[in-house]
Amino acid sequence: MTQPSIPGTDIGIPQMGFGSDGSNHYEISVDSDGHIHIDIVSSALPAGAATEATLLALSVICAALLETDDLSIDEITKHLRVDVEESALPSGAATEATLLAIKGYVDGLETLLAGGLPAALDAGALKIKEQAPLTGFATSAKQDTMITALQLIDDLRNALASVATDRVVVEAKGGDKLISFESIVTERVQNLNASAGTNFLNTTAVPSGKIHVYTNIHAVNVVSSITGILISLDSGSTPRLLKSIASPAALAGADAKGWFFVPAGWYARAQFVGCVLGDDIFLDVTGFQMDAP
């Protein structure tokens, strides 16, 4: 290769540049601004790149589409308008009816959670489906049996007078016990101007719902010795004789002692036989009163 002679090689003196093709040197071409002109040499396309023929074919197709109604371009935004064609739902996809039903359930739940649950329960809108009891759970029948037993315990508790930590105090009542005590009973009946012959004295009848227990019934004529004295319990129809004494002296009298249970409507009676006109006769009872069963 021939090396050209290059004048002006001193520092500060303009110089020239050359390019070489391997055999010859050529001046470098620049434009008016001093920019180097560059020729681009064609080369093989990269793998997969579209050829000019392919691009030309696409341009032909797009031109054909633009000349028909198959493509619609928005005049303002220049966006391509696309129509979605209706097709069958994929297998298992939810239909609009199913989604609307779900929406109804969700709306109902939102209403309940927003404060309507108590009202729904009162109106019977919320129902619990009946199912077989789980293993070990109490059935309704067993619960009813427990309620009955608990009620008996509660009744027993109410019947007690008091319950302390170490004892139970029971209040005795005639309806609950064979013998109880409510109040003392004492009564005197007298006749200070007896008729000649037989005279009777009766106590007050036992009130309804009560029982009188007489422990002593005493009858006496304090003036005269008479033929006899008879003491009985009577209801007005069939007397029950308790004691009789013949020819008692004055002031001696007759006594019926014991526990005589007298039901409601009955009373004690003393019969004085052989009195003298004007005699003083007396009938006294002592005992206590209790509630009838």
Average pLDDT over residues 117-134: 66
Give the pLDDT of residue 191. 97
Q: Residue 262: what pLDDT?
A: 95
Which of 209, 213, 222, 210 is closest to 281 using CA atoms? Answer: 222
What pLDDT does 237 receive? 86
Residue reference for tokens 């789980």: 134
Q: CA-CA distance, 135 to 156, in Å (whole number)?
A: 34
Mean pLDDT of the residues in the chain: 82
Mean pLDDT of 100-116: 81
Q: What is the pLDDT of residues 59-93, one digit of tens each?
A: 777 777 666 666 677 778 878 777 777 778 788 88
Nearest CA among 232, 240, 234 for reference residue 272: 232
205 vs 171, higher pLDDT: 205
What pTM value is reported for the model? 0.44
d(CA 121, CA 111): 13
What pLDDT was estimated at residue 207? 96
Residue 265 and residue 262: Cα distance in Å, rounded?
8
Give the pLDDT score at 290: 92
pLDDT tens digits, residue range 257-292?
A: 999 999 999 999 999 999 999 999 999 999 999 988
Q: With bands split at pLDDT 50, 70 and 90, how would you rate the model's confidence at 171?
A: low
Q: Would strands 197-202 and 183-191 be described as parallel, antiparallel, or unpaired? A: unpaired
- Residue 234's CB is within 10 A of a number of other CB atoms, namely 19
Contact residues for 205 (Cβ-Cβ < 8 A; gap 6+): 264, 265, 266, 267
Both tokens of residue 3? 């090396």
In the structure, what pLDDT confidence band is assigned to residue 224 with cuts at 50, 70 and 90? very high
Task: Tell me the pLDDT band of 1, cut-offs 50, 70 and 90.
Answer: very low
Q: Across residues 243-259, what is the average pLDDT?
A: 95
- Whole-Å CA distances, 3 to 18, 19, 24, 29, 93: 11, 12, 9, 19, 82
Supply 131's token pair: 């199912």
- For range 7-31, the mean pLDDT: 67
41: pLDDT strictly greater than 90: no
Question: What's the confidence (pLDDT) of residue 170?
Answer: 65
pLDDT in tens, 135-162: 777 778 888 889 999 998 888 777 766 6
Residue 205 has pLDDT above 70, yes or no: yes
Residue 172 pLDDT: 58
Domains of the chain by range and CATH? 140-171 (no CATH), 183-291 (2.60.120.340)
- Give the rounded percent of residues in the chain with a pLDDT score beyond 90: 37
